[in-house]
Structure 1
């Protein structure tokens, strides 16, 4: 019977593991499929980054109860690096969930058993069929009563090109273009480095490079902004209600003032030319920067929707988010301090019992919050368990200015809340 099948959760990040914990509390059996080598694999890739979200803002309620039942202590104070979040929370939580979490299992497609997306007849009565490639490269078909897609956006960073496509020549120049916050910039001493992007990941990278320029003469840092000024990228500065986030913009402003960083505004990358001396970066207005030894393109992330092609899903055409969320999360309107809680009512899809949750539900919007994702999970699981009153209830409690966390949200729009725990170590994290 379909009701006896597990609920398959795609992704063993913060929201995926939280979903499993909530499902077990509700008497439903989860099966978490993670394509990475370990639970929290995406978070581990930015382990060098320190979140400004405190520990109590990074732990899901049902997950906390499960860990407490095993006697595992959860840090109660401080601002962890992502590596500590993985070590002290995500890995113990995955261990507490046991063999319900399967790593090195990549989902390649989801459908209804015996039904492509065109077929109406008997569709809702059929279980989901999830196509998976396991650790040995074998293809499997797993059946599920429901599917929660918490696979995130980390694997698909935005390009340097300003029109959403890779700039002309960007793929050819791939050896000189990075799409992640660097853990170590020492090898770039004495070189010309450019950063494109206006979010916290870009600001952090600029700061690390500016510090390198201070101690390594000859290092040049050029910050390319699509916008007409650096004001938005620098945030609220000392007026920011979150002091650790404020430190990020304040320090970036000081780096610009002392000449450690050259800012080029209104620069919309259209072409990258790879040459013997480095790459030349061209804007759509004809301006050029270069030669550059390395370009950090930190322009946000986007969801991979390819596994959903045989499901009936409603995706917003602008944000690639769950359609019903779009008006609430549009980065043209909202920051992470103004985004409302979302639950099963907004996340419901035309395909019954299929849900996109976590960072992926926000598509390209950079306003995702860890606590918002945990509230999504709680509401959706309550719905699957038949507790519709709990599913409709809003239990999200945020600090006054919002709190960001989660795995892999380093976005360009500058709306997400993440910053270093201390002004002396300026690193950022958000979303997953």
Structure 2
């Protein structure tokens, strides 16, 4: 007779953090099944393959994943080099998915649409921890099936659920009607999407690294398409928080980013509008206009050809509706993490170590890790998620000493706050990172600074 502990652990999401959880579980001989909604592992990261991150290869690779890879002949790329999202996929995630310990456990094109306790709804208390988790899976053909698991690790991230344009957290009036002129996240303005941006006037809305990445790419586009214009629209007014730590940043590339951005604004390459809260979008004869308030007064910005909404992401909570989760009331991440990661108080580097206890819920055996554990907080780094994955795998395996022995050292300073009324700008969660708005920038910084590249720590 099959018992609860005979069932595998289900991991949702095959980004860096989900695969790290699978690797740690595999090392402990715990059966695991990974479900990835995308067509390949690292699907979210592949959406921003053109972006170079500002953390090194050494900081982007999980320990258990590295051990499995090296056992199969893999070598770490230059440890201090800064990879692009495409390189992270090609040289790390794709090979990791092919190691014998994992290859048969990963299913792509498999979207988890709902999770419950088998035979029990959310209201029923008695016997919950003795029932397996029931996952409803929809494949790429639209067929649905059920999968049973002893525990569930949700590393599905937030990348596919972008925040809307409206400053209130709701879609701006006219946002859906003018969707053809709006892009979200980090479109590849130098590559696949070039024709939509070259020679056009572009408004980039947002104060985090996703916005900065697009702006820097637009400046590079101006070199070959001089008619291109970039208008940067930020809700906050304290630009020192946006520009970050400069030379004091422990991640050199991240500090160089803020310095370069300030230079581009000061030189007029980027037109900056601060203190603008978007309420609507409307068409006029020359394009589309942003309507809102400018430092408290009603205002309409000059028309643009396209709008890039780079205001971060938020978790999709629908699939966990029948589970007993405890979420932070404003971040929508794990409740225990809320005070530790609140971007009003913390930067990426000031988040304290945490593990399985902080990312668990009143629903025994269910864990939220990676950028989704941070909810709307933009302060996530891959190093944080890897330690979460290690601790959770140890807890599931019953090694409580290892699970509670949490260590995490993060680089301090940088742009790691949220786009608030008093200041702007997020960073490390969610081009995230992993699973990532992530802290993301383009190669323009590297080119102009004479460096080999810079970017962000991101999760997918």
| Bin for the TM-score computed over the shorter chain | over 0.9
The 2-side partners of 1:183 and 1:128 are apart by 39
With over 3 angstroms needed to count, the CA separation of the structure-2 counterparts of 1:66 and 1:56, relative to structure 1, is: same
User: What secondary structure, in the 3-state scheme, does the structure 2 residue paired with 1:303 have?
Assistant: coil
Contact kept in structure 2, 1:245 and 1:417, CA below 8 Å:
no
Uncovered stretches (5+) of structure 1, i.e. residues with no partner? none
Pairing of 1:208-357 with structure 2 (within 5 A): 208-284=217-293, 285-357=297-369
Aligned to 1:157: 162
Aligned to 2:27: 25
Query: Alignment partner for residue 396 of structure 1, among 408, 422, 425?
Result: 408
Using structure 2 for the length normalisation, give the TM-score.
0.89
CA displacement 1:381-413 (0-9 Å, x = unmatched): 1111111111111132434669956435336xx
Shift of 1:39: 0.6
User: What secondary structure, in the 3-state scheme, does the structure 1 residue paired with 2:265 have?
Assistant: helix
CA displacement 1:199-257 (0-9 Å, x = unmatched): 11112212222333355333322111101243222212334333211221122111112
The 2-side partners of 1:426 and 1:147 are apart by 35
Shift of 1:184: 2.4
With over 3 angstroms needed to count, the CA separation of the structure-2 counterparts of 1:418 and 1:408, relative to structure 1, is: farther
Aligned to 1:103: 108
User: What secondary structure, in the 3-state scheme, does the structure 2 residue paired with 1:379 have?
Assistant: helix
Aligned to 1:382: 394
With over 3 angstroms needed to count, the CA separation of the structure-2 counterparts of 1:376 and 1:419, relative to structure 1, is: farther
Contact kept in structure 2, 1:301 and 1:364, CA below 8 Å:
yes
Contact kept in structure 2, 1:161 and 1:270, CA below 8 Å:
yes
Shift of 1:183: 1.6
Query: Alignment partner for residue 83 of structure 1, among 56, 81, 86?
Result: 86
The 2-side partners of 1:137 and 1:308 are apart by 20
Contact kept in structure 1, 2:152 and 2:365, CA below 8 Å:
yes
Aligned to 2:446: 422
The 1-side partners of 2:54 and 2:382 are apart by 12
Shift of 1:422: 2.6
The 2-side partners of 1:190 and 1:333 are apart by 40
Judge which range, 299-308 or 280-289, deviates more: 280-289
With over 3 angstroms needed to count, the CA separation of the structure-2 counterparts of 1:239 and 1:120, relative to structure 1, is: closer
Contact kept in structure 1, 2:158 and 2:437, CA below 8 Å:
no
Aligned to 2:434: 407
Using structure 1 for the length normalisation, give the TM-score.
0.94
Superposed structure 1 runs of 4+ greater than 6 Å apart: none
The 1-side partners of 2:440 and 2:89 are apart by 20
Aligned to 2:423: none
User: What secondary structure, in the 3-state scheme, does the structure 2 residue paired with 1:110 have?
Assistant: strand
The 1-side partners of 2:211 and 2:159 are apart by 16
